[in-house]
Amino acid sequence: MSKQEKLYKFYTYAKNEGLRKAVKKTRDYVAKQQQPIFQQPIDVMAAVEDIKRANYIDHPYAAPPKIGSKEKLKIGWVLSPLSPGSGGQNTICRFARYLQQQGHDVTFYLYEAIHPQSVAQAVDILRSSFHFDVKVKKIADYEESDALIATGWETAYPVFNVDTKAHKFYFVQDFEPLFYGLGSKAVLAENTYRMGFYGITAGRWLTKKVSEYGMAADYFNFGADMDIYRYKPEVKKQKKICFYARPVTERRAFELGVIALDIFHKKHPEYEIEFFGWDTGNYQIPFPYKNRGILSHEDVARLYHESEACLVLSLTNVSLLPLELLVAGCIPVMNEGENNSLVLGENDYIHYVPASPIQMAAELSKIVEKDDLTAYAQAASDSVANASWDASYAKVEAILRREVQGE
């Protein structure tokens, strides 16, 4: 509309409705035009109302009395929307399945916050991606339980707010404040360690970290699926190394790894390099490589069996991969640090190096240049011959019973 047309429209409206109404209508129109077309919602993972209600400072959570002897427990797990291929949710399913097999009554409660997901969608993902059949409800439909377990930090807020006689737990798989830059999400994640829940942590490093916030906790050790990853000497090692490449996950140090592998490739161009863990096809990689993307457990095991070494980096809590690699006879090269070594313990076949691309490349070269690599791979596998998950499953059940029942 031209300026002349706008003036004529104003004049006509003022003539019919009066000057005051015409001025007000013009002001309203101008104000509306100045509003942004799209307003970004506040996204802090948890629902803002849940954050506002969780007054853990003035009204801290206090565990109820122990319930005494009870053969089977009613256990609720609170999860954010399910995601196919999620390692953290796979671990939750692993422990929940064991508890269910022991006869406990297990329910998953879905906490949507700002990301919607129906119960039907969650059930479908649980069955197709995690091969797990379990009762699923929305957190709004919570039924009284003996134990209620928060998982990712955002779920700690609704768990705190639930009015229940259940003992409240926090299944901590990583130090999540480090997932973000210093800001609102990092602070909100940190605050969940002050809520008073009893922590069940993935390894000793996390028990140590959450204790800095006054949080009581116990830990379980990592394991590996022995049947899937078990070393197969009949599968001949190839001139191949692999890299756990997760560019979308900052803590996996993708860029450091790529630089290290570029250095390695220049020294050993005869070695094939395969990336797995994410589709990296849209990234400029300065050397020839094979983009494997997200693989099934069986395909990952095959890659391990064929590869001589694997670069697997973690800047927060260690991943599950190093033990799986050792079981398969593939030598892991990792960045040094308590977050890794305190969890995995002493093992001569885990090659820790400073978080320097030059050092990483040198360590990979040192491994592939070994004269006795086949024997070394077998010894690495033998070093973790008892690294199944069974003891960890039993320990988590024992923690729940101890804290709920006093056993």
10-residue averages of pLDDT along the chain (407 residues): 58 60 66 58 81 94 93 97 90 98 98 90 96 97 98 97 97 96 95 97 97 97 94 93 96 97 98 97 97 93 98 96 97 97 94 97 98 96 94 97 92
User: Which amino acid is located at 157 in the chain?
Assistant: Y
Model pLDDT, residue 5: 58
Q: Are 149 and 76 in contact (CB under 8 A)?
A: yes
User: If you ran DSSP here, which 8-state letter would residue 63 be given?
Assistant: P
For tokens 């973790």, name the residue: 384
**For the sheet containing 240-244, what is the strand order?**
290-291, 272-276, 240-244, 309-311, 331-335, 351-353
Residue among 132, 121, 124 at smallest CA distance from 91: 132
What residues contact 400, with CB distance under 8 A and at least 6 apart? 73, 75, 99, 147, 169
Q: Compute φ and ψ for 218, nearest 5 degrees.
A: -135, 165
Model pLDDT, residue 140: 95
pTM score = 0.87
Model pLDDT, residue 16: 62
In terms of DSSP bridges, do strands 309-311 and 331-335 run parallel, antiparallel, or are they unpaired?
parallel
Model pLDDT, residue 94: 96
Model pLDDT, residue 21: 66
Residue among 361, 380, 353 at smallest CA distance from 271: 361
Q: Say how many Å lie between the first and final Cα of the chain, rounded.
A: 79
Residue among 286, 290, 275, 367 at smallest CA distance from 330: 367
Model pLDDT, residue 113: 83
Other C-beta atoms lying within 10 Å of the C-beta of residue 274: 18
Model pLDDT, residue 267: 98
Model pLDDT, residue 114: 72
Model pLDDT, residue 323: 96
Model pLDDT, residue 110: 97
Contacts 24+ apart (CB under 8 A), 333-338: 333/309, 333/360, 333/363, 333/364, 333/367, 335/253, 335/256, 335/360, 338/205, 338/208
Q: Are 199 and 217 in contact (CB under 8 A)?
A: yes
Q: How far apart, in whole angstroms, are the C-alpha atoms of residue 245 and residue 279?
A: 9
Residue among 173, 144, 143 at smallest CA distance from 156: 173
